[in-house]
Amino acid sequence: MANSAIDDTYERAVGLFNVNRIDDAVDLVTADLDQRADDGRLWELLGTLAYAKDDFELALTAIERASLLIPLSPRAQLVLAKCYDRGGFRESASAIYCHLATLPDLAVDLLATLAAGLGRCGECELALQVCRRAAESFPDRADPHLGIVHYMRRLRRPVKQILPSMFRAHHLEPENVEYRVRLAWMLHESGCSAAGAYLLEGVDCEEFSCIRCLTLMQTIFDSVGDETNANVCRQRLAILASDWSSPEGDD
């Protein structure tokens, strides 16, 4: 009977979470824990729900309590690592992140968060491996490939080794102008400035508000002698600089 009641609470709480009633889910689990304080599974659930509503203190307390009662699930371990990470306990967080990266059957929806945590802890090689797993699990999504690019950059891999992943991200989201600019810049870095400039044809520089992207585009256009587009970028940068320097409320 006890297990049946716990399962019922668990299912109801997850149902509430799925319809974005997180506060109600937390209240439900908290009330049940008043009667079943030794149930590690419910403490684990409470910690996960609390983290989802940004109550990090409750999340940490609940997950640590659960860890004294049951072996934590990978999802709960990830929540615990994120709590340690936010609290400045980087070594403890890193140890958990690194352990999770070794699990071959880790739920694929945890991979992006795990890669980000590993990256924050300086574990770029492991973060890269996790991004590659994510790319295999989600072949039609661009963001894992962008993660691969990011961590290969941090690991100072040669640009020509990184280009295939950037090409793949651009192929999957050709309408993403930021991806297009990144790819064009990497082509420029690898000595293919003309190809980079060609890739930028049709990009409306006057609609851009990203200073970094405009600066990269200007450099590429300058490198191939395209003064027209380079000047458009320069003018747009000057307008943005003027907007930033003008007192608020000035016309």
pLDDT in tens, 155-184: 999 999 999 999 999 999 999 999 999 999
Distance of alpha carbon 142 from alpha carbon 159, whole angstroms? 18
Under DSSP, is residue 176 helix (H, G, I), strand (E, B) or coil? coil
14 or 83: whose pLDDT is higher?
Answer: 83
Could you tell me the CA-to-CA distances from 241 to 165, 209, 251 in Å, in that order? 33, 10, 14
- Per residue in 213-247, pLDDT (tens digit) is 999 999 999 999 999 999 999 999 999 888 766 55
Question: CA 84 to CA 93: how far, in whole Å?
Answer: 5
DSSP 135: H
Amino acid 205: pLDDT: 83
Domain residue extents for the chain: 174-245
Asked if 29 contacts 46 with a C-beta cutoff of 8 angstroms, the reply is: yes
pLDDT at 109: 94
What's this model's pTM, rounded to 2 decimal places?
Answer: 0.86
Nearby residues of 147 by Cβ (< 8 Å), 6 or more positions away: 112, 115, 127, 128, 131, 134
Instruction: Identify whether the C-beta of residue 58 lies closer than 8 Å to the C-beta of residue 22.
Output: no
Dihedrals phi, psi of 70, to nearest 5 degrees: -145, 160
- Tally of CB atoms within 10 A around 78: 24
